[in-house]
Amino acid sequence: MLFNPEESIDFNGNTGPFIQYTYARIRSILRKAPLASSEGAVGGSSLSDKEIELIQKMNEFGAAVEQAGKDYSPSGIANYCYELTKVFNQFYHDYSILNEPDADKRAVRLMLARNVAKIIKSGMSLLGIEVPERM
């Protein structure tokens, strides 16, 4: 195995900085969100396929941690965090969060972003990796 320092700090692909950058991006979105829109009542809005996919991916966190523990393999957590980050980034690319005109949809998307950030922070913490609030 060859270690390439340049690849280890790449913001693209399966790297820690890619995951850290996504966490920092989410935190930035949440800082910019008006308090009322980020904690509004959620309901009455149908979910898109990407939102459902993101929820399903978040739901896999517990199983990924459990399997990593059974296998004594932290790489399972690292791979899960990368997969969650990819799903979130695709969602973020396809759907506006802060500029969504529908208040219910915006509240749902902010809630999804907040929970993705919590999971990324938890997963990376289990690996001993800090996630920055800003990059």
Tens of pLDDT, residue by residue over 17-59, are 999 999 999 999 999 997 755 455 455 568 999 999 999 999 9
- The whole-number pLDDT of residue 3 equals 45
| 100 domain residue, yes or no | yes
If you write DSSP's letter for every residue of 22-86 in order, what string do you get?
A: HHHHHHHHHHHS-HHHHSS---S-PPPHHHHHHHHHHHTHHHHHHHHHHHT-THHHHHHHHHHHH
In this prediction, what percent of the chain has a pLDDT beyond 70? 82
| 27 domain residue, yes or no | yes
Full-model pTM: 0.86
Q: How many domains does the chain have?
A: 1
| 4 domain residue, yes or no | no
| CATH code, 119 | 1.10.730.10
| 24 domain residue, yes or no | yes
Domain extent for 88: 15-36+46-126
